Structure 1
């Protein structure tokens, strides 16, 4: 009883089993019934062959056995094909639903939470772990059928000889219990290797993002490679240990199986009189399931990897669900069954003033390293509709962080955001964000124009000409022909996309820094004027003191605080 309870607890706590229980839409009873038919037909085939062979020894021809054999084969093919097809469809449907839930939750998470969670963890959950589950679907299905086949064959052995059945059950129970006990530490080690793999991917991501810098410094490149090697070596060693343990478990199981054969051939006949016919049939039955048993044991490493992947996926979804604070469910097509609260893009569209009052934001990194923490504020700032506001300050003064706070992307730890003199309710934060379009310093350029109203698309050609990239890029109605451009040209495309969103406020973080001198002048002297004439409110971080006169107002930052601007000390 204790052994059975431990095994049941082990199965119940398995990540893959929990994932399938929560996500599968196919009736378990129906699936098990068809799988049982497949297993039963396997056992029937064995019984028919054994019986027909017995009569063949006596030179008796029994055509009826051939009919039974053909019927069993047809049932086996039909049931096997159905269960494998359903398994493939079910797993892919589950992966699609879960992937869409994760992506949907991402929409409602805060920027700071996603930054701290890390894109490698998110990408691994959406792509790598999902692929592991997809690739293991057929193997897991066949393993279940093998289990059922072994069960029915064991019943057939019990019908032939109860002594052989007791020997089979005893050996299999002991072998499986020992195997699962030995595999317990393997599961935790597999989770550890997944985390180490994420560290490897994070460091490789650093290498790719900073490839230019690494090419300029051989020492830096070597240090990064050394770090990757260190983490990869640790992951490889841990994975090697798990594979060795799995190999030892496999050898143990095979040894137990051969001992079972030896017991049935050498020991059971001593315990049973008149066993000559029974030993032949029992041994044949055991030999019949040697392939399924070996296949079942060989599938356990795949099962363990799939379980670790399923747990990582569920952990990711649980974290994103907690961060988003939204209950989401999707149908078979991946579409939400109940929509999360949508933003009202018109709620604050007619604002007159925006205000930060005694605003404070503090950042503490997940690793708790005090050298990486920083803060801005308290800051008092008022933005009036239709004005052009320039924000200046040295590197690290908090300008970019201020933009994230002002646009509602970073949460205030102290202070208040006010719209037309009224404090912004927390549940209206997304409505507030809808009045901003931005090109941040670390902007991402989409190859398609997402979320742009139809009337905005009519202006694409004019803006491409105004931004002087007509000979660099074309627009086919939805996509740009290329985004493989210089940094300055990519910023022009990003500005184009932001302008087409038709938001009341345009936020630019050192946008002109990568433009050539002639176009930089055009931006400050012509383009800003065009935007001002259309009623746009512009908030721009800039170092171009030659063009400060293009702004209605300028504010200066030092060390995360508002400061007095001294033109003698500040240079672009």
Structure 2
């Protein structure tokens, strides 16, 4: 019951009026079924004396039961689907609104498991509620009917029922704990699925790696999820079977033992036996719903925890003043980083890496190369500059305007970026230009992809291309955005030598000629001479220079 109450509170918060109407309709359907049971029992003991009135009442109760049952199911289904849709959208919005480092820390497998498994479990639990209410109403009505037949026999029956419930609670708590453990294995299982989808080539090419992956983390997660779910269900099955045993023990007591020492008329005794035979079905529905509601409760808590975790970084922040200036494109001249520091935990090395303090200014219209060894902090620097990571200390300023939480969104709109781990959307989203197809086609031709990709109604005909070609399509999106500041993270790494040369000798100079500011993260030192300035990263320290770093100058003179 605790699980269903938690679920009901969630639905109640979505639409109170619809929820109440659905519950009332369910109760009405259940009570009509009990009324039908009472009429049938009365008719059985008065065969040949059935009146038109009782037949009319039977017909009316039958029609009312169908009406209430249908409306209860439809209302709660409508409410559940609306609640689930709103929750999916709210979670998606939270994920997009959360600081990047928070979602990176959660990991895509946990986010995906919550958006799929947990939300699906919640939907399944909500769909069971109409039948739960109907059967609870039937059980309540049966209890009332039993009280009307014999109050002292009702108390005896009630004692057995509550004894069964109390015994049921013992294995139920253990079962819920096992289902919680199973949900933990589900996160690991999704991580394994993600590895299969993303690392197919690496797994195919290395048999021992593939075997160790399947027999190691994937097998452990799959088996752990199955074992815990089976164990939890076993406890629930034991509890449910014991409840069924209690019902038939009561029926056996009434039929075989009770008549020998109690003076009870046949109608009352038959009524009790009929009620217990009838109530067993609704009780089984309620009991079988409890494991599903437990999974729903686990899923709901996971969803709520994810929501709290995503908002955790936002708590305790001071509100920014109302008079903070927004950052307007086409007007800025300089972006400055003043004593900016950012740190993060490196899990493999079990150390904290600090980037900064960084003090430098980037001028409008510059072409800058960001260089340095692997792990020096280049991509982290780029995310700081883009406003995806917020500095732990120091400020980023656009001219004299400090970038803060309430102008961060407008600041990010200055940039077009192609990340090294970019994602390519099939649709050209975010563009309202009626001529977007023609404009995109012209850029596709410039990127030498017109023989493979077409654009129709703002949608790319295919994204099933090589990695280098996909990066060209990502550059297409950046072209169409036409923003002030372009950032390329190892963009040329997957290009063939010919197009790599085109990128450095044509595309970058063309962007600079249009007044764009360009930051290029690159290891292609043979093209470094085209840059205006250089940012050299080394162990989290950044140095801005107008001259090519000496190490690369030495290579050219060697």
Q: 1:79 aligns with which of 57, 68, 81?
A: 68
Q: 1:266 to 1:482 in 2, by over 3 A?
A: same
The yes-or-no answer on 1:562 pairing with 2:547 is: no
The yes-or-no answer on 1:186 pairing with 2:186 is: no
Q: 1:191 to 1:24 in 2, by over 3 A?
A: farther
Write the distance in 1 (CA, Å) between the matches of 2:386 and 2:464. Answer: 29
SS in structure 2 at match of 1:380: strand
Q: 1:304 aligns with which of 270, 282, 294?
A: 294
Q: 1:396 offset after TM fit, Å?
A: 1.9
Write the distance in 2 (CA, Å) between the matches of 1:11 and 1:560. Answer: 49
Q: Which residue of 2 aligns with 1:364?
A: 345
Contact 2:327 2:411 survives alignment (8 Å): no
Q: Which residue of 2 aligns with 1:336?
A: none
Q: 1:445 aligns with which of 424, 427, 436?
A: 424
Q: Which stretch of structure 1 is more off in the superposition, 126-135 or 484-493?
A: 126-135
The yes-or-no answer on 1:227 pairing with 2:217 is: yes
SS in structure 2 at match of 1:26: helix
Question: C-alpha offsets along residues 56-104 of structure 1, whole Å, 9 cap, x if unaligned?
Answer: 1xx3343332211111100000000000111111100000111111112
1:144-155 equivalences in 2 (<5 Å): 144-155=133-144
Q: Which residue of 2 aligns with 1:236?
A: 226
Q: 1:272 to 1:79 in 2, by over 3 A?
A: same
Q: Which residue of 2 aligns with 1:256?
A: 246
Q: 1:395 aligns with which of 368, 374, 379?
A: 374
The yes-or-no answer on 1:160 pairing with 2:149 is: yes
Contact 1:508 1:540 survives alignment (8 Å): yes
Q: Which residue of 2 aligns with 1:292?
A: 282
Write the distance in 1 (CA, Å) between the matches of 2:315 and 2:89. Answer: 16
Write the distance in 2 (CA, Å) between the matches of 1:558 and 1:113. Answer: 26
The yes-or-no answer on 1:518 pairing with 2:498 is: yes
Q: 1:264 to 1:372 in 2, by over 3 A?
A: farther
Write the distance in 2 (CA, Å) between the matches of 1:384 and 1:543. Answer: 23
The yes-or-no answer on 1:528 pairing with 2:516 is: no
Write the distance in 2 (CA, Å) between the matches of 1:122 and 1:319. Answer: 11
SS in structure 1 at match of 2:23: helix
Q: Which residue of 2 aligns with 1:378?
A: 357
Q: Which stretch of structure 1 is more off in the superposition, 314-323 or 481-490?
A: 314-323
Write the distance in 1 (CA, Å) between the matches of 2:207 and 2:351. Answer: 25
Write the distance in 2 (CA, Å) between the matches of 1:116 and 1:504. Answer: 31
Q: Which stretch of structure 1 is more off in the superposition, 528-537 or 176-185?
A: 176-185
Write the distance in 2 (CA, Å) between the matches of 1:315 and 1:469. Answer: 45
Write the distance in 2 (CA, Å) between the matches of 1:213 and 1:466. Answer: 33
SS in structure 2 at match of 1:451: coil
Q: Which stretch of structure 1 is more off in the superposition, 26-35 or 159-168?
A: 26-35
SS in structure 2 at match of 1:452: coil
Question: C-alpha offsets along residues 231-272 of structure 1, whole Å, 9 cap, x if unaligned?
Answer: 322332222221111111112111111111122223443554
Q: Which residue of 1 aligns with 2:546?
A: none
Q: 1:569 offset after TM fit, Å?
A: 6.7
Write the distance in 2 (CA, Å) between the matches of 1:95 and 1:504. Answer: 40
Write the distance in 2 (CA, Å) between the matches of 1:248 and 1:558. Answer: 63
Q: Which residue of 2 aligns with 1:412?
A: 391
Write the distance in 1 (CA, Å) between the matches of 2:82 and 2:456. Answer: 33
Q: Which stretch of structure 1 is more off in the superposition, 189-198 or 543-552?
A: 543-552
Q: 1:27 offset after TM fit, Å?
A: 4.5
Q: 1:473 to 1:345 in 2, by over 3 A?
A: farther
Write the distance in 2 (CA, Å) between the matches of 1:362 and 1:219. Answer: 37
SS in structure 1 at match of 2:455: coil
Question: C-alpha offsets along residues 475-499 of structure 1, whole Å, 9 cap, x if unaligned?
Answer: 0131101111011110000011012
What TM-score results when the alignment is normalised by the length of structure 2? 0.91
1:10-21 equivalences in 2 (<5 Å): 10=2, 15-21=6-12
Question: C-alpha offsets along residues 394-447 of structure 1, whole Å, 9 cap, x if unaligned?
Answer: 222221111111111122223321222554334322222111110011111111
Q: 1:276 to 1:45 in 2, by over 3 A?
A: same
Q: Structure 1 unaligned runs (5+)?
A: 1-6, 327-340
Q: Which residue of 2 aligns with 1:329?
A: none
The yes-or-no answer on 1:135 pairing with 2:124 is: yes
SS in structure 2 at match of 1:555: strand
SS in structure 1 at match of 2:551: coil
Q: 1:525 offset after TM fit, Å?
A: 1.7
Q: Which stretch of structure 1 is more off in the superposition, 453-462 or 464-473?
A: 453-462
SS in structure 2 at match of 1:289: helix
Contact 1:200 1:231 survives alignment (8 Å): yes
Contact 1:161 1:282 survives alignment (8 Å): no
Aligned residues: 543
Q: Which stretch of structure 1 is more off in the superposition, 273-282 or 25-34?
A: 25-34
Q: 1:515 to 1:22 in 2, by over 3 A?
A: same
What TM-score results when the alignment is normalised by the length of structure 1? 0.89
Write the distance in 2 (CA, Å) between the matches of 1:245 and 1:497. Answer: 55
Write the distance in 1 (CA, Å) between the matches of 2:435 and 2:522. Answer: 27
Q: Structure 2 unaligned runs (5+)?
A: 317-321, 544-548
Write the distance in 1 (CA, Å) between the matches of 2:359 and 2:395. Answer: 10
The yes-or-no answer on 1:60 pairing with 2:41 is: no
